[in-house]
Structure 1
């Protein structure tokens, strides 16, 4: 069943053509991601397909009897409403019933109240408000009574995302849904979309997310859309084959073009009929050669200032805002080539710690000592504060007109911009004309052009295309200084860090040796602590080579420890195997769900996943109960 179709659509801005005569179709059950380079027109294409903006030519049609939820990159929310009011203002049968019920209660209309109550019962909408609160909490919004006007840009997007998801539309359209989410919120969204049997169309650069959620990838490249039916790993394989074939074809055309160009130059002006055919063929070939180009390649072989023996020491650093403790006597000494990931829920103090390290913020107590050779390069979440009427080339020349490479060669600002995929025409564009990803790439250039040896990267993956991310990763892997990274891109962090600081709340920091996936697997393997244990005092020893476990002082109990019977011991051992088997089955069913299928199959698999999760929760509770006495 076709949900959405676009036929021969074209869109341009000024003299810049984004795509021409593009055709696309979306069927029920498809989970499609649009990928492509920054500035290729992904967001514009998504907006056209969602009906938010019209195409210059062509037709976009959506099936009439389906509901559609659309998350824009910059959601437009009513600042006069609270968070809960914004989400309740969405469009769904349950929300309609809930609003009718609230209105009947307020007006005292008994007949309307009875009808509303019947609708609430029929649609199972009685616990809808609690579902909204739970979803907002999972996405990092705890206070549902705060006005929207007080929210940050990231919080506004999370509220808008919750509003889309709670409506449970037939077709979900999302533009960069993982931006501004912390890692746990991303994993919640990933699981939600995996178990939802709806249809999905999105733009995202999160490679783990793409691989685990999508069953089709559509790449926008050079104004054309290339479809790959499979997940992101399959797309990479097939794209490599296409690029190899394109490169071979381009090389063949170039060789022919050189031969024909030589022939054209040697011919007299008066040509016969046969020569005219060859001339027309040459012009056609010239159009193909000049219309195609080899992929641009971001070159980051910039020189790095050498680090001395003393780098950065944090001694008993504490910081709080009001009653909220972010850091409590934190100690760490950075060493050469340290590559640290910073993990924690939004609001735990990640940006605060980075601001204190760079001197933008002072700790309440403790000492931060920076070595004399350290030169920070701080890439922040905030976009560049540049005049819209300033040209790109002028922005770079204001920082440095020439730059030394790692090889010792010198490049001009123009050459450097070219290495960062800004062609000559783009260099003389005004900042206002740059896409979000192009602005972030320019911001990255301005950080690296200053030759830092200690990079602090706060969400560097936001709005950067996958090609740029791959090259940035290669640069950071060979970077001879220290790196501190905050990112929601799990793939990016896994490749680059060798240990992580985990901000756990109440000033506690865990230094775990390993990348994010290592830490997550270790954490998930730990038995859940009881409420009494969680209230115990936790001490930190933030040294790089410490064991992963924190030292937790357990409250003493007056009663003697219960001993398990032989039957209970056998039950405990059996539960471990059953839970593992259920987890394996869940992964298999999620894979089946991602691969697509008939509506009945998708519904059955979604129900099976729900039942498996219920079984896992019940068995885990019993396992934890028995584990306390082992």
Structure 2
């Protein structure tokens, strides 16, 4: 079933063409990712698809199937600032969500018993309790707890999580997501990955998270120089097919260049347009000239800045501790950094990772212990909160205010304009004001401003947010060759796996554990520990249950009741199998019509009701047993 159609859609900002005359279709169940360089128009295209901006172009069309429930996650979600979280989350016309909102309000504000009872009755009537439990799970997953908190008091990251939670609660059939993993911790990202993988959910998103692209997507669309290129498969398939496309384009471009040289010789020798045949050849020459000049290979980010030499003593933490009130951030942490060390830092949001970095760079002092910084150590601190570029400054001024040039290897130097060019800011864009840059371009400029200090100890706090995949690949290559030390705080699993040798795991209550290995190795070990803990918990519960049964007088079931209970177990098992088969039919997209979907949904609801009825009866016997 077709959900969305775009035809002949274009968009320009001034003289810059973001995309030109593009067409695409999105069908039910597809998982599509859009990739492009920063400033290419990814977010604008998402907003056009979501109906937030009008398309341009003759005969342009954006059509969403009238029955499809679509939700859009913007990079900067827009809420009414005076709303509470409760009002923002449950801002919906859905009767069940409205009933849950009223019920939550009675809990939050402790309303009169009659009002509370009316809310509970409404929940019963709509059978909303399971849905209410699902909502609580989503809110807890995204660390949304204080329902009476005003939206205007939330940080940008908290608003993004609130918007994502609201989107999931609305249970859409199709989602359009702009960088959904920004501001999520690693557990949240893995949970979201599982949610988006549902077979019946249709996804169109922009993300720099390459594990997301690998594990969720079945198609990737690249926006390149205003045109789109579609690649079936996940991220690995995209890399292979894109490489093949570039090889073919390079071969075709070389042939065009040879033909162009031949035609140029002819044009220079021939009188212009004496005959119709000659005029036709001249016209073809100018078309070929446009094609050759238009197919130039765009530059890639180049970083080969030379870091200052590190001394023998680099950075040492001696039994440091830090608390805020009763909350322990760090307790008794000691470590000595060695040359070329690559450390990743992981842990839930709010556990103290940013405070830890500020302690190491001596921006704040520890309560106990001490931090010793080597005499030759020069920090380069890239932080989320540090992006304070003057909006009224030109790009070139931002860099020249730091330094006119920077040293390279072998005694060479690079001027500020040359360095900006290597960071994909051409001479024309260097004269642009910072306020006109995209979010990713601002981050790229901030990263350059950090490197202009010529550091030998890099501290990168979420450096991958808003950077495009092409820039990330170049940045990773630079960091792999960087001669100094690196500490990385990131929720980008791919980035961590590629770069770090070991991890500082923030486990809460001030405890930091040093784990030798990358993030994926850590998660494998962590999941096995969680499974082992669940096995031990179940075994303990079973021991308690058996002990309680031994102490109780033998009541038990009669022979007939035991027989009925066994029969119910078999019936429930068969019904569950039938339910799986029925759910599988929803995946047969080539055979699904709206009528068939309605028919299957009705049959599935009836089956679930039968299973629930038999399970309740089984529970009665189980309690008696």
Cα separation, 2, equivalents of 1:593 and 1:296: 48
1:312 aligns with 2:287: no
Aligned to 1:298: 301
- Paired residue secondary structure (2:491): coil
- Paired residue secondary structure (2:129): coil
Check whether the contact 2:317–2:371 (CA below 8 A) recurs between aligned residues. Answer: yes
Cα separation, 1, equivalents of 2:73 and 2:468: 19
Check whether the contact 1:357–1:368 (CA below 8 A) recurs between aligned residues. Answer: yes
Cα distance change, pair 213–261 in 1 and its aligned pair in 2 (3 A): same
Deviates more, 1:167-176 or 1:265-274: 265-274
Cα distance change, pair 415–110 in 1 and its aligned pair in 2 (3 A): closer
Cα distance change, pair 270–63 in 1 and its aligned pair in 2 (3 A): closer
- Paired residue secondary structure (1:502): strand
Deviates more, 1:54-63 or 1:491-500: 54-63
1:512 aligns with 2:518: no
User: Quick one: which of 438, 441, 453 aligns to 1:438?
Assistant: 441
Cα separation, 2, equivalents of 1:3 and 1:530: 44
Cα distance change, pair 461–284 in 1 and its aligned pair in 2 (3 A): same
Aligned to 2:40: 40
Aligned 1:8-23 pairs, distance under 5 A: 8-23=8-23
Aligned to 1:228: 231
Shift of 1:115: 9.1
Aligned to 1:66: 68
User: Quick one: which of 315, 329, 332 aligns to 2:332?
Assistant: 329
Cα distance change, pair 254–106 in 1 and its aligned pair in 2 (3 A): farther
Shift of 1:345: 0.3
Structure with greater Cα Rg: 2
Cα distance change, pair 405–147 in 1 and its aligned pair in 2 (3 A): same
Question: Structure 2 unaligned runs (5+)?
Answer: 538-543, 548-580, 609-625
Check whether the contact 1:33–1:210 (CA below 8 A) recurs between aligned residues. Answer: yes
Aligned to 2:387: 384
Aligned 1:254-265 pairs, distance under 5 A: 254-265=257-268
Cα distance change, pair 284–399 in 1 and its aligned pair in 2 (3 A): same
- Paired residue secondary structure (1:306): coil
1:252 aligns with 2:258: no
1:50 aligns with 2:50: yes
1:274 aligns with 2:281: no
Cα separation, 2, equivalents of 1:488 and 1:113: 40
1:110-134 deviations in Å (ceiling 9; x for gaps): 999799456512xxx2243332222
Aligned to 1:485: 488
Shift of 1:197: 2.3
1:6 aligns with 2:21: no
Aligned to 2:554: none
Cα distance change, pair 142–594 in 1 and its aligned pair in 2 (3 A): farther
Cα separation, 1, equivalents of 2:126 and 2:173: 21
Check whether the contact 2:32–2:204 (CA below 8 A) recurs between aligned residues. Answer: yes
Q: What TM-score do you get using the length of structure 2 for normalisation?
A: 0.82
Deviates more, 1:110-119 or 1:495-504: 110-119
Cα separation, 1, equivalents of 2:350 and 2:222: 35
User: Quick one: which of 94, 100, 106 aligns to 1:98?
Assistant: 100
Cα distance change, pair 405–92 in 1 and its aligned pair in 2 (3 A): farther
User: Quick one: which of 190, 193, 198 aligns to 1:195?
Assistant: 198
Shift of 1:338: 0.8
Shift of 1:302: 0.9
Aligned to 1:87: 89
Aligned to 2:209: 206
1:460 aligns with 2:460: no
Cα distance change, pair 351–593 in 1 and its aligned pair in 2 (3 A): farther
Q: What TM-score do you get using the length of structure 1 for normalisation?
A: 0.81
Aligned to 1:575: none
Aligned 1:588-599 pairs, distance under 5 A: 597=589
1:343 aligns with 2:349: no
Cα distance change, pair 392–65 in 1 and its aligned pair in 2 (3 A): same
Cα separation, 1, equivalents of 2:385 and 2:9: 34
Cα distance change, pair 512–16 in 1 and its aligned pair in 2 (3 A): same
Check whether the contact 1:98–1:120 (CA below 8 A) recurs between aligned residues. Answer: no
Question: Structure 1 unaligned runs (5+)?
Answer: 535-558, 563-588, 612-630
1:415 aligns with 2:421: no
Cα separation, 1, equivalents of 2:585 and 2:382: 38
1:473-532 deviations in Å (ceiling 9; x for gaps): 11111111100001111000001000000000000010000011111111122256879x
Aligned to 2:140: 137
Check whether the contact 1:214–1:594 (CA below 8 A) recurs between aligned residues. Answer: no
- Paired residue secondary structure (1:526): helix
Check whether the contact 1:194–1:594 (CA below 8 A) recurs between aligned residues. Answer: no
Aligned to 1:78: 80
Shift of 1:376: 0.5
Check whether the contact 2:86–2:101 (CA below 8 A) recurs between aligned residues. Answer: no
User: Quick one: which of 473, 477, 484 aligns to 1:474?
Assistant: 477
Check whether the contact 2:272–2:278 (CA below 8 A) recurs between aligned residues. Answer: no
Check whether the contact 2:28–2:200 (CA below 8 A) recurs between aligned residues. Answer: no
Shift of 1:80: 1.9
Cα separation, 1, equivalents of 2:125 and 2:303: 61
Cα separation, 2, equivalents of 1:329 and 1:500: 17
Aligned length: 548
Cα distance change, pair 150–102 in 1 and its aligned pair in 2 (3 A): closer
Check whether the contact 1:313–1:369 (CA below 8 A) recurs between aligned residues. Answer: yes
Cα distance change, pair 403–261 in 1 and its aligned pair in 2 (3 A): farther
1:239 aligns with 2:242: yes
Deviates more, 1:3-12 or 1:354-363: 354-363
Deviates more, 1:401-410 or 1:298-307: 401-410
Deviates more, 1:108-117 or 1:469-478: 108-117
Check whether the contact 1:30–1:596 (CA below 8 A) recurs between aligned residues. Answer: no
Check whether the contact 1:100–1:116 (CA below 8 A) recurs between aligned residues. Answer: no
Q: Judging by fraction of residues, say which structure has more helix.
A: 2
Alignment RMSD (CA, Å): 3.1
Aligned to 1:176: 179
Cα distance change, pair 510–99 in 1 and its aligned pair in 2 (3 A): closer
Aligned 1:525-544 pairs, distance under 5 A: 525-526=528-529
Shift of 1:398: 1.2
1:580-625 deviations in Å (ceiling 9; x for gaps): xxxxxxxxx9xx9999955879999xx9xxx9xxxxxxxxxxxxxx
Aligned to 2:428: 425
1:289 aligns with 2:292: yes
